[in-house]
Structure 1
Amino acid sequence: MLISSNELMEQIKKPSLVLIDCRSYKDYLEGHIPGAVNLDFFHYHWFDTSKDGIKAFEKQMENLLSFLGVTKDKTVVFYDDVSGMSAARGVWLSMYFSHENTFMLDGGFKKWKRSGLVIETKTNGFKPEKFSGKINKEMIAGYEYINKKIGTAKILDTRSRDEYDGNTIRAARKGHIPTAVNIDWILNINEDGTMKSLEDLAKMYDFSKNDEIIVYCQGGYRAANSFLVLKMLGFKNVKVYLGSWGEWGNKLDLPVELNQN
């Protein structure tokens, strides 16, 4: 699920490559990897994980992947500044539609630039294609499903400790989903923006491979990064809670847990 700068450089001119810069358009204009199109995934929050809400999400994302020009024969690479959350969201989305050849650029644009590789500033246009993929329902969770799974599934909160404890409030209510454990997603990456080694990551995520793991954050972006880490570590049953705290924390009928400090 990771591709290095050198590996990407070898594929940069292949017509089968779809390269997506997930940073802001401002950052993209200041310089990007040659051939990349820009799509800032932060414009695509989704806080309705009812049955109809997830159906609508799938339809919109299918249209988005069509707009990007993704087809079954394409290799898709997402990148942002580092091995970050926006690019991870793109990889998770591709995998959700069962697209196999999808990667995140390890170290992101900062590593690319630091390596002295070629950069361009011209804007690249989209080349839309009709996208269709098989949806993998085993990779997503909605609030109703999670509410039933409290106490049986391993729930992983990938937000900051202050958000988890309720010191930072970003919804109508503060705290976390009951029984959730907290491992901040930022611990997944090294200081240089690359992903930590599998050995180091395995020490952090010392869970049973038999666990069903549901990851969440505020909007499903940081959670996507930890989702990729868990998949790289060989965990089979991992789901992203798409609505995350942006939905859960605003639904007053759902249970909330607060740490007693």
Structure 2
Amino acid sequence: MTQLSLIDPSALSQASAGIALDLRSPDSYWQGHLPNARQVDAALFALPKTDAASVQQYEARLRWLFSTLGLNADAPVLVYGENFDGSVARAAWALAFAGVKRVSVLAGPLAQADGVPLSREAPVFAAQPFALSAQRALLATADDIAATLGNAGTRIVDAREADDYRGTKAATKAGTNAGTNAGTKPGAGHIPGALHWDNRQELNAAGTLDTPDALAERFGALGLAKHEPIVVYCGGGPRASRTWLALQRAGYTRASVYQSSWGEWGARADLPVETSAN
């Protein structure tokens, strides 16, 4: 099981050295990055569909990517971006899914990491085989969810905006990056039985995840129990990934992410949709 940790930018100088993945733009990366950081396009962590072939291709992509980046599943990896957003969380989820044992997330902008020397040099590293060990319990597929509908033993959490959840969004939106609602259609609604979670509730005033106790209290108020399996989805994966991190922080260790989220579910005519305004 992956050991996940959040690092405040003010404490980055005391963090253990290791490989870092920089999800910022190439321009930002070359203006100054952590000395051992590899620049990575956050879009590589997206999973648009969850049929068996797509999941296999996703695993192959992660194996190729992490091999190319010189990662080792036993060595610690730090992920950071422009801010502590869903793209950073999705990369952390992908590392855990691939079997990386120790994953840290910078819970804020790199610019706030005072006293940390930055480099404009290209890091020197060699590609090496990455032994991917897919943690399939962390990934929920459309078929997995369809099979559990009506089963009180699995809770489904919708981390999109309330208008998306209710199906009252006025205009179609598309995209899979953080801040968009991939695949949303007017009046679409949500997966039947899903609970709505305003994912702003997982953040404190500083814009990072709140304390474990505060998060546990809010998830408990939503009706979630730590012993039951939980599936989180959003528009295209990023926001659900951050909510997954929040659940992990609060002690909900049986949570998984439906990475394809509404981008896949809403596009499939064979999957049911609920439009109640609860």
Alignment TM-score, normalising by the size of structure 2: 0.83
**Code of the aligned partner of 1:19:** A
Conserved in 2, the CA contact under 8 Å of 1:154 and 1:213?
A: yes
Q: Does the CA contact (< 8 Å) of 1:22 and 1:80 recur in 2?
A: yes
Q: Distance in 2 between matches of 1:160 and 1:7?
A: 32
Q: 1:161 to 1:109 in 2, by over 3 A?
A: farther
Query: Residues 43-54 of structure 1: matches in 2 within 5 Å?
Result: 43-54=44-55
What residue in structure 1 maps to residue 91 of structure 2? 90
Tell me which residue corresponds to 2:268: 251
Counterpart of 2:81 in structure 1 is 80
Q: Is the Cα contact below 8 Å between 1:33 and 1:120 reproduced in 2?
A: yes
Q: Does the Cα contact within 8 Å between 1:219 and 1:246 map onto a contact in 2? A: yes
In the alignment, which residue of structure 1 is the partner of 2:178?
none
The amino acid across from 2:97 in the alignment is: Y
Q: Counterpart in 2 of 1:10?
A: 14
Q: Among the aligned pairs, what percent are the same residue?
A: 30
User: In the TM superposition, what whole-angstrom CA distance separates every residue of 1:47-92 from its partner, at most 9, and x where no partner exists?
Assistant: 2211121111111111111122111342100012333212211221
In structure 2, distance between residues paired with 1:11 and 1:200: 25
Give the SS at the match of 2:56.
helix
The within-5 A match list for 1:130-145 is: 130-145=129-144
> Residues 83 and 189 of structure 1 are in contact (CA less than 8 Å); yes or no, is this contact kept in structure 2?
no
Question: 1:176 aligned to 182, 190, 201, which one?
Answer: 190
Residue 191 of structure 1 and its aligned partner are, at CA, apart by 3.6
1:193 to 207, 231, 243: 207
Which residue of the partner structure matches residue 249 of structure 2? Answer: 232
Q: 1:185 to 1:111 in 2, by over 3 A?
A: farther
Whether the 8 Å contact between 1:107 and 1:195 is mirrored in structure 2 is no
Please list the CA deviations of residues 172-217 of structure 1 after superposition, one character each: whole Å capped at 9, or x if unmatched: 6421111111113333223433221112211221111122100011
Deviation for aligned residue 1:149: 1.0
CA contact (8 A) 1:37 1:125 kept: no
Change (3 A) 1:141 1:79: same
Deviations 1:130-187 (A, max 9, x none): 1113211111111011011122221011112222222334326421111111113333
CA–CA distance in 2 between the matches of 1:128 and 1:11? 25
In structure 2, the partner of 1:213 is 230
Q: Secondary structure at the match of 2:55?
A: helix
Stretches of structure 1 that go unaligned for 5 or more consecutive residues are: none
SS of the residue 2:231 aligns to? strand
Match in the other structure for 1:163: 164
Q: State the match for 1:106 in structure 2.
A: 107
Aligned pair partner of 1:204 in 202, 218, 233: 218
Distance of 1:172 and 1:216 partners within structure 2: 13
Counterpart of 2:7 in structure 1: which amino acid?
A: I
Equivalent residue number for residue 147 of structure 1 = 146
CA distance in 1, matches of 2:117, 2:276: 49
Mapped partners of 1:28, 1:7: distance in 2: 21
Structure 2 CA distance, aligned partners of 1:256 and 1:86? Answer: 26
The amino acid that maps onto 1:215 is: V
| Structure 1 stretch displaced more, 21-30 or 72-81 | 21-30
Question: For structure 1, which segment, 241-250 or 155-164, has the greater mean C-alpha deviation from structure 2 after superposition?
Answer: 155-164
Counterpart Cα distance in 1 of 2:242 and 2:206: 16
Counterpart of 2:214 in structure 1: which amino acid? D
Matches within 5 A, 1:28-43: 28-43=29-44
Residues 74 and 250 of structure 1: CA distance in aligned 2, closer, same or farther (over 3 Å):
same
Provide structure 2 residue ranges, at least 5 long, that are not aligned to the other structure. Answer: 174-182
Q: CA deviation at 1:121?
A: 4.0
SS of the aligned residue for 1:205 comes to helix
For 2:192 and 2:31, the matched residues in 1 are separated by 43
